[in-house]
Amino acid sequence: MTDAPRSAPPEEPRPSGVTHQLPPGVIVNGLRAAYGRIEVLHGVDLEVPPGSVFCLLGPNGAGKSTLLKAMSGRLRPTAGSVLVGGGPIGRTSTEKLARAGMCAIPEGRGVFPNLTVRENLSIWTYRGGTSLKEVEERTYAAFPRLRERRSQLAGTLSGGEQQMLAISRALVTMPRLLLLDELSMGLAPLIVDQLYDLVGTLASDGMTVLLVEQFVTTALDVASHAAIMVHGRIDRVGTPRQMADAAFGAYLS
C-alpha cells in the first residue's frame, strides 16, 4: 500500500491527439445535486491533486456515482462548482469534456453491447490521432483475452472481460483525467488486480485518476490519496491506509 502521495507528473505531450488539454487536477466546492426533489449530494468538497490516484470509498447510496456523474457533465449540479485544471466545467457538455481530456467510465461497464470488441475499440478512435491497428495492439497487449474475443459482441463477454474492454477506452484515448466507477464490481480478485495494475501504469504515465469503490480493494494499493464519502458528503480524507482503517471502523465492520 502506498501512503506517500505521488508527485505531480511532468507536463509532456500526450500521445492521444486530444485537443484543448486541461491540467488534470480537480477541485470540487460545495457541490449539490439532486434527482428530482431528492437531494443526494449535500455540499461535496474535494480536491484531487494533479497526477494523483484518488480513491473515494463509501457505503451503498453515499452518492459516489452521483458525484462522478455531476463531475462528468451527466448530471447538472444544483449548487457548487467543479474546477478542472483551475477552470470551471459549469455546463460543459460531456463531449467537450472528453475533448478537454476527461474520460469517465461509468459503473456497469460502459461498452456498446451490440458491437464487437473490435468495433468498440474502433469507436473510441473517432477523435483521431491513433489508428485502430495501434489501439488493438495496445489493448491486446494489456488484455490478451480480448484478442481471442475480438469478434464477439461486447454484451456477451463475461463481466471481467467487459470491464477490461471498458477500461481499454482509457488506453485508446489517453485522457488526462480518468473517472472510474466501481471497476471491481462483481469481479474475481485476480481480474480486479489485473485491472488496477493497468490503472497504476496509466497513473505512472501522468494520468490523474479519481476512482470510486464501495469496498476496500486493490484500488488502495495503487492509490496515492483516499477519502470516505457518507450521506452525500466527504466524511474524511487521508492516506489510503488511514481510509482503509476508517472504512472498517465506519461501515464495513
**Site of interaction with ligand ATP (CB under 6 A):** 35, 40, 58, 60-66, 214
Residues with Cβ within 8 Å of residue 80, at least 6 apart in sequence: 28, 29, 30, 31, 32, 43, 44
Which C-beta is closer to ligand ATP: that of 45 or that of 137? Answer: 45
Residue 40 or 102: the one with the smaller Cβ distance to ligand ATP is: 40
CB of 147 to ligand ATP, least distance (A): 31
CA separation for the pair 71, 77 (Å, rounded): 9
Q: How far apart are CA 212 and CA 64, in angstroms?
A: 7
Shortest reach from residue 80's CB to ligand ATP, in Å? 16
Helix H or strand E encompassing 40: strand 38-48
In the chain, the amino acid numbered 99 is: R
Q: Pick the closer one to ligand ATP by CB: 162 or 184.
A: 184
Q: Which is nearer to ligand ATP, 34 or 123 (CB)?
A: 34
Q: Contacts from 11-15 at CB under 8 Å and sequence distance 24+? A: 12/206, 14/101, 14/174, 14/176, 14/206, 15/129, 15/130, 15/174
Min. distance of Cβ 185 from ligand ATP in angstroms?
8
Q: Cα–Cα–Cα angle for 211, 216, 218, nearest 5°?
A: 70
Q: Which of 18/70 has CB closer to ligand ATP?
A: 70
User: To the nearest whole angstrom, how small is the minimum distance from the Cβ of residue 150 to ligand ATP?
Assistant: 30
Evaluate whether 121 touches 197 at the Cβ level (below 8 Å): no
Q: Are 168 and 139 in contact (CB under 8 A)?
A: yes
Q: How far is the CB of 36 from ligand ATP (least distance, A)?
A: 7
Structure-block grid coordinates of residue 126: 473517432
User: C-alpha cell of 96?
Assistant: 467537450
CB of 187 to ligand ATP, least distance (A): 15
